[in-house]
Structure 1
Amino acid sequence: MMASLRHSITNALRSSRQACSKSAQWQQSLDQQFGALRISSRSLSTFANESNPNVDGQFIAAPALSIDHFKLHPHARAVPISPSYFTRTPRFYDNYLSLERLMEEYEDLPVIPATAVERVAWKTLDDIRQELGEQVKASEFARCLTLIKRLNSIHPDLKPQEIKDVLDSFKRNVQPYTNVAKPIPIDQYGRACGVGRRKASSARAFVVEGTGEVLVNGKTLADYFGRVHDRESAVWALRATNRIDKYNVWIKVEGGGTTGQAEAITLAIAKALLAHEPALKPALRRAGCVTRDPRKVERKKHGHLKARKMPTWVKR
């Protein structure tokens, strides 16, 4: 009885000793692995200590740091920096998430009415696809553009610089809404030169204060234009503003026919007249003298008698 009890106690002590030995080995292995993965918070200096007697008052770069003796954990893996890495369009979604973050942070700022917001030409869907190199969906770009316009409607005096920087990245390089036509100067003789075009005709009109004399290529209106309609059309800008007897006009016109030349002269005189009196622009616009007429003769097509006329269809 005593012998079996002594044998049982001996086996129990031997098993506990082996278990403690294995536990110590396992703990030591874990400590080594965690020590290899531990990142020191101390900053490493690449310069020698100033108190080093071999330095002679100069800083010498320390030897290169070797990391070959570090052993990474076998289960360690690289983790993507961007949360959008596994999406279909990661670069676009990074921009979209940044817009959403700004919207959540600054949505309480006051906004201005839509009519008072500065007009901006934003990048199109094709521009975004070409810039990012990703096939962005039209619906996703529409949601992104909605956030952009909402952030742009924030009051300019309260808009943070962070929002301005993000919005600038979505603006086109050339803003057509900020382009302003150069004003027509008046030379030392009091002349303003305007240029007008219509179809194949081009005209240059020199307008100066006078008594209402008009010369076209050195001839009067009656001598140059045989049709009354062309004469009235040429000086329509002056007649519509009741300035027919207050300015002298000298015109140089070339190309096209009489109708095209007369309408080109109308636009040229209107531009030169605005240099003298800018307040006449609403009246000239109502008269149709400010905007160029882009219409041209349509070309003839093969199989047609003219540009659009088709030959008569015969059943047999």
Structure 2
Amino acid sequence: MARGELSGSLRRAIDLLGRAYCSPAVRFPNTIRHSRCLSTTTSRCAELTSETHEKFTAAPPIDFSKPDAGRPKTGKQLLRTLRVVPASPSYFSAKPTFNDDWVALTALLRKFATLPTVPLPEAPKVAWKTIDQYRIMTNEPVKTLRYHKMLHVLRRLNRIHSSLMPQEVLVAMQRYKKDTQPSDMRPNPVFVDEAGRAKGVGRRKTSSAVAWLVEGEGEVLINGKTLTDFFGRVHDRESAVWALKATQRLDKYNVFALVRGGGVTGQAEALTLAIAKALLVHEPALKPALRRAGTVTRDPRKVERKKTGHVKARKMPTWVKR
């Protein structure tokens, strides 16, 4: 009896509390008003699924009673619905040819990335097309940075070992090579003739010189004149026979030369290169010594620094604070 009265009183207390909580007239100080009621009943299925889903609509059924139902269109019907599909997915981009080339090269790199490679100095020397040549070939405004990224991929493919180089990579790289390659340019063969003479040709600005070198006692004839008669300055005399002086061959060979064009200094520097080339025909092993002496270089200023040991002082920029 006491238990029933207690449960009845608790039920009435809970009902009163729920009504007071849901009533908008009851206000609690220093609190936010709530419009949500406290429910002690379980949720029903209709409350959880209140949203209505759209009905599924299938394609209309095919009427097989018609003569052309379910058959592919041919002839004029096909031409009315035909759409031209571009051969490249990059057709609608600003640079479709470049995009196709980039995708093809990167795909080759991923395909053959595991093949052994050689160091960069040992890779075959290749002259790649410049950015201007590539723009003319593709007729597209390719940016320089993007073309340099493409060249980086080409150099990586070129480093694949020659014995394992796939034919697919060779065909792809041929598109980006220049028409003339360094390996195609072979120097003319040089030799010593029946009289024991070796010929060398040198040029400097508008001056040109042809020198014949033969074993002898150190005589030098330039346009039929001796070295001292042809060149009045000591500097020009030393510059003309610098290749022999640097290799200590002044008293071993005779020089017969013809020079023309330009000034006296230009003729002397052209003769320097001509004598060096003729000396290499007699003694090819002297090439490292001549390279150190600066006689086989194209820049005569390096020859000047080798002879005098003078290095021009570098000027400081004007914005540097002193």
- C-alpha separation in 1, matches of 2:61 and 2:239: 106
Task: Rate the CA distance shift 1:185–1:28 in 2: closer, same or farther, 3 A.
Answer: farther
1:27 aligns with 2:58: no
- C-alpha separation in 2, matches of 1:224 and 1:113: 50
Could you tell me which residue of structure 1 aligns to residue 91 of structure 2? 85
TM-score normalised to structure 2 length: 0.68
What is the aligned counterpart of 1:220 among 199, 215, 226? Answer: 226
What is the aligned counterpart of 1:36 among 49, 55, 72? Answer: 72
Unaligned runs of 5+ in 1: 1-21, 38-66, 296-316
Amino acid aligned to 2:177? K
What is the aligned counterpart of 2:253 among 234, 242, 247? Answer: 247
Task: Rate the CA distance shift 1:112–1:292 in 2: closer, same or farther, 3 A.
Answer: closer
What is the aligned counterpart of 1:289 among 264, 273, 295? Answer: 295
Unaligned runs of 5+ in 2: 1-59, 302-322
Task: Rate the CA distance shift 1:139–1:285 in 2: closer, same or farther, 3 A.
Answer: closer
Task: Rate the CA distance shift 1:261–1:145 in 2: closer, same or farther, 3 A.
Answer: closer
Could you tell me which residue of structure 1 aligns to residue 105 of structure 2? 99
1:263 aligns with 2:269: yes
Contact persistence 1:238–1:244 (CA under 8 A): yes
| Secondary structure in 1 matching 2:177 | coil
Task: Rate the CA distance shift 1:33–1:114 in 2: closer, same or farther, 3 A.
Answer: farther
- C-alpha separation in 2, matches of 1:261 and 1:77: 72
Answer with 1 or 2: which has the greater Rg: 2
How much identity, in percent, do the aligned residues show? 53
Amino acid aligned to 1:261? Q
Could you tell me which residue of structure 2 aligns to residue 108 of structure 1? 114
Deviation at 1:252, TM superposition (A): 1.6
- C-alpha separation in 1, matches of 2:235 and 2:82: 88
Task: Rate the CA distance shift 1:179–1:33 in 2: closer, same or farther, 3 A.
Answer: farther
Q: C-alpha offsets along residues 141-162 of structure 1, whole Å, 9 cap, x if unaligned?
A: 2332222222222222112111
- C-alpha separation in 2, matches of 1:102 and 1:89: 20
Could you tell me which residue of structure 1 aligns to residue 280 of structure 2? 274
Alignment length, in residue pairs?
242
1:129 aligns with 2:135: yes
- C-alpha separation in 1, matches of 2:194 and 2:97: 58
**RMSD value, Cα:** 2.5
Task: Rate the CA distance shift 1:28–1:136 in 2: closer, same or farther, 3 A.
Answer: farther
Task: Rate the CA distance shift 1:28–1:79 in 2: closer, same or farther, 3 A.
Answer: farther
1:161 aligns with 2:167: yes
- C-alpha separation in 2, matches of 1:35 and 1:96: 42
Contact persistence 1:33–1:72 (CA under 8 A): no
- C-alpha separation in 1, matches of 2:236 and 2:78: 90
Contact persistence 1:207–1:247 (CA under 8 A): yes
Contact persistence 2:218–2:250 (CA under 8 A): yes
Amino acid aligned to 2:264? T
Q: C-alpha offsets along residues 101-153 of structure 1, whole Å, 9 cap, x if unaligned?
A: 22222222222222222221111221111111122233332332222222222
- C-alpha separation in 2, matches of 1:269 and 1:33: 92
- Give 4+ residue runs of structure 1 displaced > 6 Å after superposition: none
TM-score normalised to structure 1 length: 0.69
Q: C-alpha offsets along residues 201-238 of structure 1, whole Å, 9 cap, x if unaligned?
A: 32211111112111122222223223222222222211
